[in-house]
Amino acid sequence: MDKLSVIIPCYNEEQTLADVIAQVAPVDTAGLALEIVIVDDCSSDASYQIAQDLAAQDSRIQVFHHTVNQGKGAALRTGFASASGDLIIVQDADMEYDPNDYAKLLRPILDGEADVVYGSRFLDRSATEAHYLVHGLANRFLTTFSNLMSGLKLTDMETCYKLIPKTLLDQVETQENRFGIEPEMTAKLAKLSPKPRFVERPISYDNRSYEEGKKIGWKDGVSAIRCILQYNLFSKS
């Protein structure tokens, strides 16, 4: 393992994108080289220009741009296809997740204890700002349902922080364009043979409000149920 690719899907995050990059750029990657891939999903604000300016200042940053807004899943597909790292992690362009957690997520894979590592917002509540009640309950329901279908024992299937080797990601063909990519990826990774070893590590989480730009909504929860059923029962990896 020589390089970590951080994929950052971005849609209208002009207020936070530069701050997120400022956190990611110096982060401890356990000795791995760092690559940052920003995918602007046709933002209507200054996000794309900010991304380009950041790339001009740091050669580790690549920027890709969608001319039509397609959703987080589509942005991630663009990022995954462009990444050159041995390990890949997703970083949202807001300030909810802390890149300083990368080191603890990397350790189980680098030590040969796991194949896939998820960062869980529920393992250490002392390090996590409380979810809005509805989001916390929804996440727990979706994770439990996903576990029932996949045979996994996760506490946070919907987490942004999924650390996955590119060799495994290359075996998974995703279809979902929005947030349904989270249960889709989990289901398809769990179906790989041999089945990857999944491990979770506690992470920090600072939940933002809809007024601050949160985008996921109740329709995405309904879609997640459909995705859990579809990709666990009726789809190959």
* The pLDDT of residue 130: 52
| Dihedral-angle region of residue 30 (phi above 0 means left; psi in -120 to 50 means alpha; beta otherwise) | left
Q: Is residue 28 over pLDDT 80?
A: yes
Confidence of residue 111 (pLDDT cuts 50, 70, 90): very high
Buried b (16+ CB within 10 A) or exposed e, 58-96: eeebbbbbbeeebbbbbbbbbbbeebebbbbbbbbbbbb
Q: Is residue 132 over pLDDT 80?
A: no
Pick the range with the lowest mean pLDDT from 13-17, 39-43, 146-150, 214-218.
Answer: 214-218
Helix or strand or coil: residue 47?
Answer: helix
Q: Decide which of 82 and 136 is more confident.
A: 82
Q: Is residue 128 over pLDDT 80?
A: no
* The pLDDT of residue 7: 98
Give pTM, 2 decimals.
0.91
Angle between helix 218-233 and helix 181-190 axes, rounded to 10 deg:
20
Decide the pairing of beta strands 116-120 and 61-65. Answer: unpaired
pLDDT, average across residues 143-172: 96
Q: What is the pLDDT of residues 48-65, one digit of tens each?
A: 999 999 999 999 999 999
CA 172 to CA 166: how far, in whole Å? 10
Is the CA virtual torsion 185, 188, 193, 199 positive or negative?
A: positive
Angle between helix 133-150 and helix 218-233 axes, rounded to 10 deg:
10
Confidence of residue 103 (pLDDT cuts 50, 70, 90): very high
Q: What is the pLDDT of residues 179-211, one digit of tens each?
A: 899 999 999 999 999 999 999 999 999 875 445
Contact 60, 36 (CB under 8 A): yes
Q: What is the pLDDT of residues 134-152, one digit of tens each?
A: 567 888 899 999 999 999 9
* The pLDDT of residue 137: 80
Instruction: Give me the domains of the chain, ranges plus CATH numbers.
Output: 3-233 (3.90.550.10)
CA 217 to CA 209: how far, in whole Å? 11
Read off φ and ψ for residue 119, nearest 5 degrees: -90, 120
Q: Is residue 174 over pLDDT 70?
A: yes
Q: Is residue 213 over pLDDT 50?
A: no
